[in-house]
């Protein structure tokens, strides 16, 4: 669809509504960026999610989280690890539209949190009898577009002893077999979480690399890739199937573009205003497990809706243009000072995963100016 808004005319600090421009075509393309996080962010002494971890969730705004040690004590009287408590966690840290899956019967279960609906979910048993406090949580997520996304949240055997290194390798082989058996060939797959890997020479890495990609490797602002609390080991990873690698894109923040994704460390990320309400010490608070790891994926999808009403633009005295539109669509904002001129000047673009859009025109003011938004 070629889509033009009702334009607005700026006169001083006022806004006047104008005429309607609208035409259509059968099909257009749009992009949606999906942010995936590996999160072993419990703190304190009870392996539960507390304010520092919740702040990181709020600030980084992931769409899908492979979460470890998925425990929560309600601050509103809903108890510990009850459905009401988890609903409180999601509403507080993510949004009322998010859904989750959490393994049952384990003391530090894995889970998955998603902005998008889950078409199926469950838990595979880890056959290592010494790892009896969590399994392998998985979900089939209905992401935008024609492909589903299969997510597995893992927390492999810890320690650097020779026997535990071998046990991780066995877990990796078991994961590969389970994924091959239960997910379609060529599916979009993400396996993320706490792998407890001490060396790139481990057999675990060799096995995982046969069906998943670890590239690019996310880093913090100082180039550090390690994710444990002491920043000495790269335990936490977001691994993707080869079929999904061409959708990886840089993580774009107001102050930085991060081509490989991000290992988020609150004590070295500047400015933290990119990730409000995160506080400086959240990543290093007492008992904090690990650092969050982020990768962004961009999915191209068709927009097949026919003619829809043109959005009504409203401008504030400060030059902020707001309108309601089609979620996950990139709008182009244009302006001209002569309504009868055929030429529009492009000011920039705006995107949103919701239906609410805004664009700040820093040069607003002065001459009478007409504005419109269009897509594609």
Q: What is the mean pLDDT of residues 177-199?
A: 97
Residue 6 has pLDDT above 60, yes or no: no
Q: What is the pLDDT of residue 331?
A: 86
What is the number of alpha carbons within 13 Å of residue 184 lying toward its C-beta?
9
Residue 317 has pLDDT above 90, yes or no: no
Q: What is the pLDDT of residue 328?
A: 77
Q: What is the pLDDT of residue 316?
A: 79
Q: Which CATH architecture has domain 31-301?
A: 4-Layer Sandwich (3.60)
Q: What is the mean pLDDT of residues 109-127?
A: 98
d(CA 45, CA 229): 15
Residue given tokens 């998925």 in the structure block: 70
Q: What is the pLDDT of residue 365?
A: 61
Select the more confidently predicted residue: 314 or 265. Answer: 265
Helix/strand/coil for 302: strand
Predicted confidence (pLDDT) per residue in 27-39, tens digit: 445 689 999 999 9
For CATH 3.60.10.10, list the domain ranges present in the chain.
Answer: 31-301
Q: What is the pLDDT of residue 283?
A: 97
| Residue 309 confidence class, pLDDT cut points 50, 70, 90 | low
Choose the weakest-confidence range: 42-46, 183-187, 372-376.
372-376
| Residue 339 confidence class, pLDDT cut points 50, 70, 90 | confident
Element (H, E) at 177: helix 162-182
Are the CB atoms for 141 and 118 separated by under 8 Å?
yes
| Residue 308 confidence class, pLDDT cut points 50, 70, 90 | low
Mean pLDDT across the chain: 89
| Backbone phi and psi for residue 284, each to the nearest 5 degrees, phi listed first | -120, 15
| Backbone phi and psi for residue 274, each to the nearest 5 degrees, phi listed first | -65, -25
d(CA 13, CA 366): 10
- Which ranges of 49-116 does DSSP label H, i.e. alpha helix? 51-60, 83-93
Choose the weakest-confidence range: 23-37, 92-106, 288-302.
23-37
Residue 124: partners with Cβ closer than 8 Å, 6 or more residues away:
135, 136, 138, 178, 182
Select the more confidently predicted residue: 333 or 111. Answer: 111
Q: What is the pLDDT of residue 362?
A: 74
């Amino acid at each position: 669809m070629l889509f033009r808004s009702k334009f607005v005319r700026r006169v001083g600090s006022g806004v006047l509504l104008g005429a309607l421009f609208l035409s259509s075509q059968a099909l257009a393309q749009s992009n949606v960026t999906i942010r995936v996080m590996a999160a072993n962010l419990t703190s304190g002494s009870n392996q539960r999610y507390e304010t520092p971890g919740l702040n990181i969730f709020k600030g980084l705004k992931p769409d899908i989280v492979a979460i470890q040690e998925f425990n929560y004590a309600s601050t509103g009287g809903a108890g510990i690890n009850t459905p009401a408590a988890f609903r409180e966690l999601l509403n507080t840290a993510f949004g009322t539209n998010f859904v989750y899956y959490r393994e049952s019967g384990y003391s530090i279960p894995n889970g998955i949190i998603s902005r998008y609906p889950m078409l199926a979910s469950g838990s595979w048993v880890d056959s290592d009898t010494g790892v009896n406090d969590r399994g392998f949580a998985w979900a089939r997520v209905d992401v935008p577009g024609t492909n589903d996304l299969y997510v597995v949240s893992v927390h492999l055997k810890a320690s650097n002893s020779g026997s535990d290194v071998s046990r991780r390798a066995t877990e990796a082989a078991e994961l590969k077999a389970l994924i091959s058996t239960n997910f379609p060939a060529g599916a979009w797959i993400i396996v993320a979480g706490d792998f407890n890997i001490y060396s790139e020479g481990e057999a675990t890495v060799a096995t995982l690399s046969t069906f998943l990609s670890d590239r690019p490797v996310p880093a913090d602002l100082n180039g550090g890739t390690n994710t444990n609390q002491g920043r000495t080991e790269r335990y936490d990873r977001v691994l993707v199937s080869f079929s999904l690698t061409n959708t990886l894109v840089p993580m774009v923040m107001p102050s930085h573009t991060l081509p490989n994704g991000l290992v988020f460390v609150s004590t070295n990320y500047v400015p933290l205003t990119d990730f409000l309400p995160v506080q400086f010490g959240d990543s290093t608070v007492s008992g904090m497990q690990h650092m969050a790891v982020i990768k962004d994926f961009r999915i191209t999808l068709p927009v097949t809706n026919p003619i829809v009403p043109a959005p009504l633009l409203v401008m504030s005295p400060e030059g902020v243009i707001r309108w309601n539109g089609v979620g996950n669509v990139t709008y182009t904002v244009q302006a001209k000072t002569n309504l009868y001129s055929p030429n529009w000047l492009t000011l920039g673009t705006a995107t949103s995963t919701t239906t609410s859009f805004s664009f700040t025109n820093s040069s607003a003011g002065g001459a009478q100016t007409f504005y419109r938004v269009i897509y594609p």
